[in-house]
Amino acid sequence: MAGFQSLSIAFLVCVIVSNHMVVDAMTSKNMVLFWGNSQSKIEGDDLQLVLDQSSGSGAKSKRYFIFGSFEAQIKFVPGDSAGLVTAFYLSSEGSHHDEVDFEFLGNATVEPYTIHTNIFVQGVGHREQQFRPWFDPTADFHNYTIHWNPNAVVWYIDSIPIRVFRNYENAPKLKTAFPNKQGMRLYTSLWNAQDWATQGGRVKTNWSYAPFTARFRRFRLRACPWNGALSISQCSSNSPTNWWTSPVYAQLSASQSTKLREIRQKYMIYDYCLDPTRKRSSGVLPPECYRRQF
């Protein structure tokens, strides 16, 4: 992520205790497998998730966090990946959970993946935005980052921001809930969703290509550990150790905003704020749609 490159090398490789940034050198120190296929494994800095007709698989961070940067390099299932979903997301627990999603929807051979993003606050989601990739996500590893601070959530691919969800919790009149009161784990998974994932479920999974494998490496969780309700104020304060609250992360730079607009103009295929069916069904769009998005 471009903004993070300004941090010194010494700052990136340290471990800061007492409710501040945690950086572990290896994926095996950050993540643990928690369900699924026996062929899935974590070895050092690498994670392999496998899906066949018996089961998909998933991994999660060992800790909960509130605010910071969550990133990994991912190489997606090649060839015919119809019906498959590879997910990289943050989530708390319970029916009123918060969640920030990167989901990558597979497709038939030579057809592009769909980059699906969403955010849930207090259990309420339906804030989808979708993009076509401007690269082949199966040919090599690319960096995917979720940056979450008290001002906004930003989704990045290879240091390029593609989406922003701003905090309008205290805005006059058009208030919008924001995820800032629950700790979240980082999760990743590979699973079958052939009923809806590819062209609305019209294209099903071709199991003759199984087992399917998605590869991950270099999980980096530069974030504030969740230690209960006290973490809400501790991790959102303007402390020098809370680097995510510094002014440079309060909003995108001019160059980042230009890149974001280019990506959205060229590669966005769905935006819930521009969906006329949403407005017809409920009468109004969600309140954040009437505010500046980035």
Token couple for 262 = 């280019």
- Catalytic one of 43, 71, 93, 103: 103
User: Does the structure show a pLDDT above 50 at 168?
Assistant: yes
Where does residue 167 fall: left (phi above 0), alpha (psi -120 to 50 degrees), or beta otherwise? beta
Phi, psi dihedrals of residue 78, rounded to the nearest 5°: -85, 170
β-sheet with 152-157: strand ranges across: 41-43, 46-51, 212-225, 65-75, 142-148, 152-157, 160-166
Q: Which residue has the tokens 């993070």?
A: 4
Q: Write out pLDDT tens, residues 134-143.
A: 999 999 999 9
- Catalytic one of 93, 99, 111, 128: 99
Q: Which of 196, 195, 203, 191 is nearest to 82 (CA)?
A: 203
**Could you give the CA distance from residue 257 to residue 265 in angstroms, rounded to a whole number?**
12
Active-site residue flag, 99: yes
- Give the pLDDT confidence score for residue 280 in this predicted structure: 60
Q: Write out pLDDT tens, residues 169-194.
A: 999 888 899 999 999 999 999 999 99
Q: Write out pLDDT tens, residues 54-108.
A: 999 999 999 999 999 999 999 999 999 999 999 999 999 999 999 999 999 999 9
**Could you give the CA distance from residue 46 to residue 132 in angstroms, rounded to a whole number?**
26
Q: Which of 120, 68, 8, 16 is nearest to 235 (CA)?
A: 68
- Residue 20 pLDDT class (50, 70, 90 cuts): very low
- Residue 294 pLDDT class (50, 70, 90 cuts): confident
Q: Cβ(111)–Cβ(84) under 8 Å?
A: no
Active-site residue flag, 43: no
Q: Cβ(224)–Cβ(236) under 8 Å?
A: no
